[in-house]
């Protein structure tokens, strides 16, 4: 009988990130730092959000520099986009406007479209709420055949309409934290709106209660990067809250 073929070994950087999901974030940082020092660009990518969570912005820039020159080490575009957004945050925190153009010059041509759209493009101003379009869509939604067959899906759809048309008060009003559709991503969006509209005290408990339910899209993601890249959520983050994020065991795919 032929010998069974061994599976592909899990990269060391991924194993270190999994370690961070178990709450051993400091051990993960130490391991990833060693790997990055040896030229492992995937480890550098994973370090970027972890170092940002501890306010080590110059180290963030150094690790982002190593990764952005070799972005193909990530298996999804999510990591590249998140690192780009964190670099923009680092530039703002350090007050050094040379960081973004310097790191952008390192990105290979294969990633220039995303680089231009995420790293180099200024964040557009928030759109004004389109309440008229939202109100019409809300009236029309129950008439759709799919909601007649599955009325339990309508509340999630109405929440999504409030998001699409930038009607913040309706988004918050239609959020139901007890509903099955209130996934971690839905909670993050709602918490961001709460924080941005002066209701920060209600925002963090929603996130805190669900940290353990977060799932990475890419194996190099240690925690939800939106806590760094989203202005509303970033404003919520104190040192104690960052430690809570890092110490909370998180799910793995």
Give domain status of residue 190, yes or no. yes
Q: What is the pLDDT of residue 1?
A: 45
Same domain for 179 and 102 = no
Question: Mean pLDDT for each 10-residue chunk of the chain (253 residues)?
Answer: 61 96 96 98 98 98 98 96 98 98 98 96 91 98 94 97 98 96 96 95 96 94 97 96 96 64
Same domain for 212 and 141 = yes
- Residue 60's closest CA among 15, 108, 99? 99
Cut 0.85: pTM above it: yes
**Six-digit token string for 158:** 């109405």
Same domain for 110 and 35 = yes
**DSSP letter, residue 236:** T
Which residues touch 5 (CB under 8 Å, ≥6 apart)? none
Q: What is the pLDDT of residue 252?
A: 62
Give domain status of residue 180, yes or no. yes
Same domain for 106 and 187 = no
Q: From CA 182, how far away is CA 54, in angstroms rounded? A: 29
Give domain status of residue 183, yes or no. yes
pLDDT, one tens digit per residue, over 73-105 is 999 999 999 999 999 999 999 999 999 999 999
Percent of the chain whose pLDDT exceeds 70: 96
Q: What is the pLDDT of residue 174?
A: 97
For the chain, the distance separating the N- and C-terminal CA atoms, rounded to the nearest angstrom, is: 33
CA angle 18, 28, 101 (to 5 degrees): 100
- Residue 187's closest CA among 153, 136, 143, 224? 224
The count of structural domains within the chain is: 2
- CATH code, domain carrying 61: 1.25.40
Give domain status of residue 7, yes or no. no
Give domain status of residue 126, yes or no. no
Same domain for 136 and 111 = no
Q: What is the pLDDT of residue 213?
A: 92
Same domain for 135 and 109 = no
Domain boundary residue, one of 54, 88, 120: 120
**Residue 200 belongs to what domain range?**
131-247
Same domain for 225 and 163 = yes
Give domain status of residue 188, yes or no. yes
Q: What is the pLDDT of residue 250?
A: 87
């Amino acid at each position: 009988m032929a010998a069974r073929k061994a599976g592909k070994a899990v990269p060391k950087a991924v194993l270190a990130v999994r370690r961070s999901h178990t709450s051993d974030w400091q051990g993960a940082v130490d391991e990833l730092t060693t790997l990055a020092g040896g030229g492992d660009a995937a480890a550098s990518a994973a370090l970027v959000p972890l170092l940002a969570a501890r306010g080590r912005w110059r180290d963030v820039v150094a690790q982002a520099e190593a990764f952005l020159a070799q972005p193909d080490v990530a298996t999804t575009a999510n990591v590249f986009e998140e690192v780009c957004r964190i670099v923009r945050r680092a530039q703002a925190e350090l007050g050094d406007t040379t960081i973004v153009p310097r790191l952008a010059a390192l990105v290979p041509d294969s990633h220039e479209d995303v680089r231009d759209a995420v790293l180099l493009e200024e964040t557009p101003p928030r759109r004004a709420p389109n309440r008229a379009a939202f109100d019409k869509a809300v009236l029309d939604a129950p008439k759709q055949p799919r909601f007649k067959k599955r009325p339990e899906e309508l509340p999630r759809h109405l929440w999504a309409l409030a998001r699409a048309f930038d009607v913040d008060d309706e988004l918050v009003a239609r959020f139901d934290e007890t509903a099955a559709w209130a996934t971690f991503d839905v909670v993050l969006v709602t918490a961001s709106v709460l924080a941005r509209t002066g209701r920060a005290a209600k925002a963090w408990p929603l996130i805190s209660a669900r940290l353990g339910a977060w799932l990475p899209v890419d194996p190099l993601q240690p925690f939800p990067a939106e806590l760094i890249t989203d202005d509303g959520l970033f404003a919520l983050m104190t040192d104690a809250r960052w430690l809570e994020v890092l110490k909370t065991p998180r799910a793995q795919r």
